[in-house]
Amino acid sequence: MEICLKIVAKTFSYRHPLFLTSAPSYLFPPPTSIYGLFAAILGIGKNDVKENRKLIKKEIQDKIDDIEFLIQKNVRSRSLGIIRFNADENKWRRSWFTTMTYNYVFDLELILIIKCEEELGNKLVESIKNYVSCFTPYLGSSENLIQEISLVNKNEIDLSNYIKIKKLRNLTNVERNSNYLRLRLPSAYDEEGNWIYEDWVLIYKA
């Protein structure tokens, strides 16, 4: 089953996990965030982080065959210096606050093209059509609240306004007469609930 979704968020920041003293952001949510979003909509989750990831893998990730992203070409982003409050005093005995530079994307508009098992697809379609979400829908972090999520017709999308991102399975996976950039994304969970990094490709016309 194939479904096509449009997601809009007023602000978005997903810190690259390999940077510790600054926080450059991905320009779109990686696949693990999308799996988490679907789990929130359908009410799938546990309090323990590792157990929650294992459950998401079983109930969402393993039932999705393929996912493609379309992100708008004219992305607006800014780096902002913020002061983060340190709630965990055991880790931060010397200071109540930490200064950080975060990168934010404004007015994120994302199109998702998803191929998944029919049962999962029908549940998502029914929930989105009826504006039902069991948990608060956000993208990877509670700061990235979703303003809009809706079903769209893939054939009515003006592709000239978007850049395509999809999993790089082999070089023939890339369209001819296009330029591309290879990306490394946290795109899946393993059996223990750890991130799996995989190669994706950002495709744009010459």
Q: pLDDT by residue (tens digit) across 150-160?
A: 999 999 999 88
Q: pLDDT by residue (tens digit) across 86-99?
A: 655 555 555 667 67
76 DSSP 8-state letter: E
What CATH code would you report for 2-161?
A: 3.30.70.2660
Q: pLDDT by residue (tens digit) across 26-46?
A: 889 999 999 999 999 999 988
Of the candidates 87, 111, 108, 109, the residue with the CA atom closest to the CA atom of residue 98: 87
* Model pTM score: 0.85
Domain residue extents for the chain:
2-161
φ/ψ of residue 52, rounded to 5: -65, -40
